[in-house]
Amino acid sequence: MSYLFDPANWQWLITDRDVLFILEGFLVNLEIAAIAIVVSLIFGLFLALARISTLRPMSLVAGLWIDLWRNLPLIFMILYFALAMPQDWREAYESIVPAFFPEALRSGRVLAALSALILYNSAVLAEIMRSGISSLERGQGEAAASLGLTYSQSMRLIILPQGLRRMVPATVSQLITLNKDTTLVSIIAIQEVMRHGRIVTSSNFFGGVQAPVLQVFIFIGLLFIVVNLLLSRLSRRLELRERKRTGTTLRRVSGLEDQVAAESDLRSGY
């Protein structure tokens, strides 16, 4: 305890550029999460549509695809893609990456990391969307059909607008998991917060004192806790509003850690 609270071990917070360097790394994590969630939402929508399709083989294949990526460890996928992705894919990524992207996101390895994050999250989001859509009453689709709307019209105009609204809170919850998962890309040497933490603790990087590992990583942990707490508060508020509006409760998607927490917060009227 005396080690933990010894002021000498917190000196690095004010003396060097360490804090700034760590925050720069943390920003990379948030950027990776932002890119991954946007792309995953688009892919996830197509996966969900395939999954609920009335075409049996299509929904079967989509279901297998979703289950495969949801059941493999994410770190396994990141590592595999980093090792197995062809060189010309990486070069293609490096040549098309927009110039406004930060330095750390322009290396070809980022493509491997993003692919893994997107495959996993789009599968999860597809399940969330499916449960949002299937929580709608059957009557909605039947009413649309009886009004003479085609399948695609009733999807576009009736089912999706309502179903997707219901998945917004669960998506924000998934963003919490995604934020935490971005630390895993440090394993394939992408320069984000974990890497920056290791740099400031391992050498006299800025010519100052070597920062202590315990304190630096507690600080990094706190960064995640603050951002994720804000997100979970947002998710809870959205869910309560949605519940008031429609009178429905959150449908759980199995295998999701963070939905466990989100659901019990609601039950207790947190």
Partner 1 sequence: MSGLWGVLQEHFPELLAGFLVTIRLVAIAFVIAMVVGAVVAALRISPSKWLQRIGGVYVETFRNIPLLVLLFISFAGLRRAGVPITPWIAGTASLGLYTAAYVAEALRSGAFAVGKGQIDAALSLGFSYASALRRIVIPQAFRSVIPTIGSLVIAMIRNSAIVGVSLLALPDLLKEARIIQSRTFETGEVFFWAAIGYLVLTLTATVAFRLLERRFEVRR
Name the site residues for partner 1 (rule: CB under 8 A): 3-4, 68, 71-76, 79-80, 83-84, 176, 179-181, 183-184, 186-187, 194, 197, 201, 212-215, 217-218, 220-221, 224-225, 228-229, 232, 252, 254-258, 260-261, 263-265, 267-268
**DSSP conformation letters of 22-88:** HHHHHHHHHHHHHHHHHHHHHHHHHHHHHHT-SSHHHHHHHHHHHHHHHHS-HHHHHHHHHHHS-HH
Angle between helices 109-134 and 56-71 (to 10 degrees): 120
- Rounded-to-integer distance, Cα 113 and Cα 79, Å: 8
Q: Of 141 and 208, which has the nearer Cβ to partner 1? A: 208
Rounded to a whole number of angstroms, the minimum distance from the CB of residue 140 to partner 1 is: 27
Q: Of 132 and 212, which has the nearer Cβ to partner 1? A: 212
Residues contacting residue 143 through CB under 8 Å, at least 6 positions apart = 158
Rounded to a whole number of angstroms, the minimum distance from the CB of residue 185 to partner 1 is: 10
Q: Of 124 and 144, which has the nearer Cβ to partner 1? A: 124
Rounded to a whole number of angstroms, the minimum distance from the CB of residue 102 to partner 1 is: 20
Rounded to a whole number of angstroms, the minimum distance from the CB of residue 156 to partner 1 is: 32
What is the number of residues in the chain?
270
From the DSSP assignment, how many helices (H) and strands (E) are in the chain? 14, 0
Quote the DSSP letter at residue 253: -
Q: Of 165 and 180, which has the nearer Cβ to partner 1? A: 180
Q: Give the torsion sign (CA, 98, 104, 110, 113).
A: negative
Rounded to a whole number of angstroms, the minimum distance from the CB of residue 52 to partner 1 is: 21
Rounded to a whole number of angstroms, the minimum distance from the CB of residue 110 to partner 1 is: 18
Q: Of 160 and 250, which has the nearer Cβ to partner 1? A: 250
Give the distance, in angstroms, between the CA of residue 56 and the centroid of all CA atoms in the same chain.
Answer: 30
Q: Of 21 and 217, which has the nearer Cβ to partner 1? A: 217
- Is residue 121 packed enough to be buried (19+ CB in 10 Å), middle (13-18) or exposed (0-12)? buried
Rounded to a whole number of angstroms, the minimum distance from the CB of residue 164 to partner 1 is: 23
Q: Of 156 and 237, which has the nearer Cβ to partner 1? A: 237
Quote the DSSP letter at residue 155: I
